[in-house]
Amino acid sequence: MDLPVELARKYEEMAREQQGNERADPKPPKEKQAVESPVFKVSNHHTDNCGPAPAVDGDEAGKYYGYFANQFGEQAVFVYDYETDEASVRMGDIGWHDVHRVVEGRVEGVILNESEAAWIHACLLATAKRH
């Protein structure tokens, strides 16, 4: 699967426009209060020699986080920084300590399998510029 990022973002933009025509912009009611319990929690499944897993604070402003575990249980964390417009990935099986940049839909220095590549593309779609 090798869908160029710009094409993927264009499809995402077209889908948002179509959805906007089909329904009103959903906004949460003001009277509802956010609950501070975690939405998602997962443990590190890798051995100690992979290094400590990154601590992820999904409430950090200006960042998007994505989590993935492939069919072998190998975990990965995607981070997109809206301020710098940069994306990176950390993968447990190749060492949590290494941060790999995501450039034009590819993870530098890493060969991804099909499901991992699809996940990266999904993360990039989720971080597409909002109009």
pLDDT in tens, 67-121: 999 989 999 999 999 999 999 999 999 999 999 999 999 999 999 999 999 999 9
Residue 9's alpha-carbon distances to 22, 93, 124, 125, 126, in angstroms, are 20, 29, 8, 6, 9
pLDDT per position as a tens digit, 1-38: 455 566 666 667 766 676 565 455 555 555 666 677 88
Task: Say whether pLDDT at 131 is over 50.
Answer: no
The amino acid at 46: H
Whole-angstrom distance, CA of residue 128 vs CA of residue 5? 9
> Minimal CA–CA distance to 58: which of 83, 40, 85?
40
pTM of the model: 0.70
> Which are the contacts of 68, defined by CB distance < 8 A and separation ≥ 6?
75, 76, 77, 78, 116, 119
3-state secondary structure of 99: coil
